[in-house]
Copies of this chain bind each other. A is one copy, B any other.
């Protein structure tokens, strides 16, 4: 019995700490998505999480460390999706991309978080500049690999090479997401992407 009590004494606070970290990360996601990183204060994050701002610093030593945790969390979310893309039959690459776009449309706050942080990251001395540059390189590389598989299967349209397919798909996707955040009734992310993929590939009903 003593051993069991000992264990729960150790587990209890650990579970609490983890739960508190999760709450803070969720609150920071919400605040950064609605004001950006620079203007998002620990005070606002504390208010959303329902804890004292000073106790945030027990869990994350700096606001930068908290930003890193927010981005790592999104990373995990992305990570669940990429293996499926990686493994896909070349005929199904467009469909897999559209499914990802449709899934993302159901989490508009994550799209907003990424839109605002990636734009903000281009400004001088921003702590997530490296993160967004690496994400950009990685996404373009992953898209190249996927479109290379399509090219090998003769599935790219005339006049479209792997590099253009990757660069244009990435650009139109990020661009239409911002336009959708600005005018949600005027544009559809999956529909715009679907028509783009129809034009650059030989898969006509993705």
What is the interface of chain A, defined by CB distance below 8 A to chain B?
33-36, 38-39, 112, 115-116, 118-124, 132-133, 136-137, 140, 157, 159-160, 164, 167-168, 170-176, 178-179, 181-183, 186-187, 192, 195-196, 198-200
Q: Are A182 and B34 in contact (CB-based, < 8 A)?
A: no
For the complex, give the distance between the alpha carbons of A120 and B122 in Å: 13
A70, chain B: closest CB distance, angstroms: 15
A129, chain B: closest CB distance, angstroms: 8
Q: Are A112 and B123 in contact (CB-based, < 8 A)?
A: yes
How many copies of this kind of chain does the complex include?
2
Residue of B nearest to A111 (CB): B122
A133, A136, A168, A170 — most chain B CB neighbours (10 Å): A168
Q: Are A120 and B36 in contact (CB-based, < 8 A)?
A: yes
Q: Are B171 and A175 in contact (CB-based, < 8 A)?
A: yes
Q: Are B116 and A164 in contact (CB-based, < 8 A)?
A: no
The answer to whether residues A160 and B120 also contact, given A167-B192, A170-B179 and a CB cut-off of 8 A, is no
Report 21 cross-chain contacts, Cβ distance below 8 Å, ordered by A residue.
A36-B120, A38-B38, A121-B182, A132-B182, A133-B183, A136-B183, A136-B186, A140-B186, A157-B199, A159-B199, A160-B199, A164-B195, A168-B192, A168-B195, A171-B175, A171-B176, A171-B179, A172-B172, A174-B175, A175-B175, A199-B199
